Amino acid sequence: MSILVLAEHDNSALSPATARTVAAALAIGGTIDVLVAGADCGAVADAAARLDGVARVRVADDAAFAHQLAEPVSELVVHLAGDYGHILAPATTTGKSVLPRVAALLDVMQVSDITAVKGPKAFERPVYAGAALQTVEATADTVVVTVRISAFDAVAETGAAPIEPVAFTPAAPKARFVSREAAASEGPELANARIVVSGGRALGSQEQFNAIIKPLADKLGAAIGASRAAVDSGYAPNDWQVGQTGKVVAPDLYVAVGISGAIQHLAGMKNAKVIVAIDKDPDAPIFKLADYGLVGDLFELVPELTESL
């Protein structure tokens, strides 16, 4: 059986999310093709061709795919779907937008955000903000799946798959790209970082968030995260939010600073290998999940920690 993996990229670089999705495809088993839909995206196709386990890279290089909008990309995927038993995309904001549209056009249910492959058509996925794990089996001939990227380790990059162009022109668009505003972020990407330092409401202000969290993250080479309370209070931009409604991360080390540990936040970080919590309230729910807990004033403890590293 053949598997199609939709590549995540920005037309110039392939996102690490793709190598993790290919790992999920390998666990299913079968011939793996990667589809790169973009504009002037030759470098992305070259990078996809190096991923281990990939048999072929198919490239639809056309201005219509420049921003990977759901309408043209889903049309393209449906056009190619007849060749495949499985269609996979990373559960990023792009994958989450495109793939359910593909599934509906193919008249099949999608399996969202899988965390494990249990069989050729059986998958585990978290529900209720990660409070339960559901194992589901798809019955359709075409299986459409989005992959939680923090649950799979990226494949290596020693391959050399052939690259083949795909000629396809989608219908005239009813959705048009207007603009993009990138968040200011210098450190590693949150979704793929080895270490994440996250701040919560207890930081008290944007100035204090930056003064306390950023030096520690810089010292650790960590990405910065935030709780929903910190984002809603304007201490941090919303694409730093970790949780059910934000990003799901599974770094080696997650440091939660001044985060009480609401269930929605825990859903986004509970699979970190080691969790450290620093908070003044010894009864905060975060200490039920943490591996190491330190109770005290974060405004003293965190600078001391930064200094000691």
Instruction: Tell which positions 23-82 bind another protein, by CB under 8 A.
Output: 67, 69-71, 74
* Alpha carbon distance 309, 294 (integer Å): 16
* 259 is an annotated ligand-binding site residue: yes
CB 155 within 8 A of CB 51: yes
Least distance CB 84 / another protein (angstroms): 18
Q: Which of 31, 41, 80, 34 is nearest to 57 (CA)?
A: 34
Does 138 sit near another protein (CB under 8 A)? yes
Q: Which stretch binds another protein (CB under 8 A): 159-167, 199-207, 210-218, 282-290?
A: 282-290
Element of type H or E holding 93: helix 93-105
Using the contact rule CB under 8 A, the part of the chain among 24-32, 90-98, 153-161, 201-209 near another protein is 90-98
Q: 260 to 279, contacts with another protein by CB under 8 A? A: 263-264, 270, 273-277
Q: Which is nearer to another protein, 53 or 90 (CB)?
A: 90
Residues 6+ apart with CB under 8 A from 179: none
Q: What are phi and psi of 272, to 5 degrees?
A: -65, 145
Q: Is 159 annotated as a binding residue?
A: no
Q: Does 177 bind another protein (CB under 8 A)?
A: yes
Instruction: List the interface residues with another protein, window 106-125 (CB under 8 A).
Output: 107-113, 118, 122, 125
What gap in Å lies between CA 53 and CA 21, rounded to an integer? 11
Element (H, E) at 127: strand 122-127
Q: Is residue 130 a contact point for another protein (CB under 8 A)? A: yes
- Contacting range for another protein; rule: CB under 8 A; set: 40-48, 80-88, 150-158, 173-181: 173-181
Tell whether the torsion through CA atoms of 106, 110, 115 and 116 is positive or negative: negative
Residue at 172: amino acid letter: A
- 184-243 residues in contact with another protein (CB under 8 A) are 185, 191, 195, 220, 228, 231-232, 237-239
- Alpha-carbon dihedral angle through residues 156, 150, 139, 59, given to the nearest 10 degrees: -50
Question: Smallest distance from the beta carbon of 70 to another protein, in angstroms?
Answer: 6
Q: Of 12, 135, 169, 205, which one interacts with another protein (CB under 8 A)? A: 135
State which of residues 47, 151, 193, 253 lies at the interface with another protein (CB under 8 A). Answer: 253
Query: Does the annotation flag 245 for ligand binding?
Result: yes
Coil vs helix vs strand at 48: helix
225 neighbors 197 (Cβ within 8 angstroms)? yes
132 binds another protein per the rule CB under 8 A? yes
One of 29, 83, 128, 162 touching another protein (CB under 8 A): 128
Residue closer to another protein (CB basis): 134 or 162: 134
Identify the burial level of 254 via C-beta atoms within 10 angstroms of its C-beta, where 0-12 means exposed, 13-18 middle and 19 or more buried: buried
Residue closest to 197 by CA, chosen among 251, 161, 150? 251
Residues forming beta bridges with residue 34, ordered by sequence position: 5, 57
Confirm or deny that 15 is annotated as ligand binding.
no
Distance in Å, CB of 59 to another protein, minimum: 22
Q: How many residues bind another protein (CB under 8 A)?
A: 92
Q: Which of residues 284-303 bind another protein (CB under 8 A)?
A: 287-295, 301
Q: Please give the annotated binding residues for FAD, written as ranges.
A: 201, 227-228, 241-245, 258-265
